[in-house]
């Protein structure tokens, strides 16, 4: 188990809902991944993310889905690609820790909506 944090610490993490508007293969990634383009609405705009969802979700399954992302991390360079947000999700419990499942909403909410 990880160390406890305070609610004040958690409140610093900006978690928002966005809609996947484009999914591309990312063959240059060390572990199998997609390049995601995600629309967070007017306030945040369109951002890009890399996600290791290939083993559990097809491009077609991700396209149009609302996903949950951390939007206030600094950009991260992943090979030739810059990931601007962290798309959240659990690993699938297999031994390969790169098998992730995107965290989605049960119902559509306005883009850019905060998560707590």
Half-sphere exposure of 88 (CA within 13 A, CB side): 17
Whether 94 has a pLDDT exceeding 90, the answer reads no
Domains of the chain: 9-87 (2.40.50.140)
pLDDT confidence tier of residue 95, bands split at 50, 70 and 90: confident
Which pLDDT belongs to residue 18?
Answer: 98
Which pLDDT belongs to residue 68?
Answer: 98
pLDDT tens digits for range 5-63: 999 999 999 999 999 999 999 999 988 899 999 999 999 999 999 999 999 999 999 99
Given a contact cutoff of 8 angstroms between Cβ atoms, the answer to whether 24 and 51 are in contact is no
* CA atoms of 6 and 46, how far apart (whole Å): 30
pLDDT confidence tier of residue 96, bands split at 50, 70 and 90: confident
* CA atoms of 92 and 72, how far apart (whole Å): 25
pLDDT confidence tier of residue 77, bands split at 50, 70 and 90: very high
Which pLDDT belongs to residue 58?
Answer: 96
Q: In the chain, which ranges are E strands?
A: 15-25, 34-39, 46-51, 66-70, 76-78, 81-83, 86-87
Q: Which of 53, 55, 68 is nearest to 23 (CA)?
A: 53
Whether 97 has a pLDDT exceeding 80, the answer reads no
């Amino acid at each position: 188990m990880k160390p406890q944090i305070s609610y004040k610490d958690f409140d610093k993490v900006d978690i928002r809902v966005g809609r996947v508007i484009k999914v591309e293969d990312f063959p240059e990634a060390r572990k199998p991944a997609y390049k995601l383009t995600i629309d967070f609405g007017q306030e945040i705009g369109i951002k890009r993310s890399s996600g290791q969802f290939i083993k559990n979700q097809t491009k077609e399954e991700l396209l149009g889905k609302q996903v949950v992302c951390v939007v206030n991390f600094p950009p991260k360079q992943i090979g030739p690609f810059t990931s601007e947000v962290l798309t959240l999700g659990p690993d699938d419990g297999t031994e390969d820790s790169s098998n992730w499942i995107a965290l989605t909403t049960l119902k559509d909410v306005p883009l850019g909506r905060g998560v707590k």
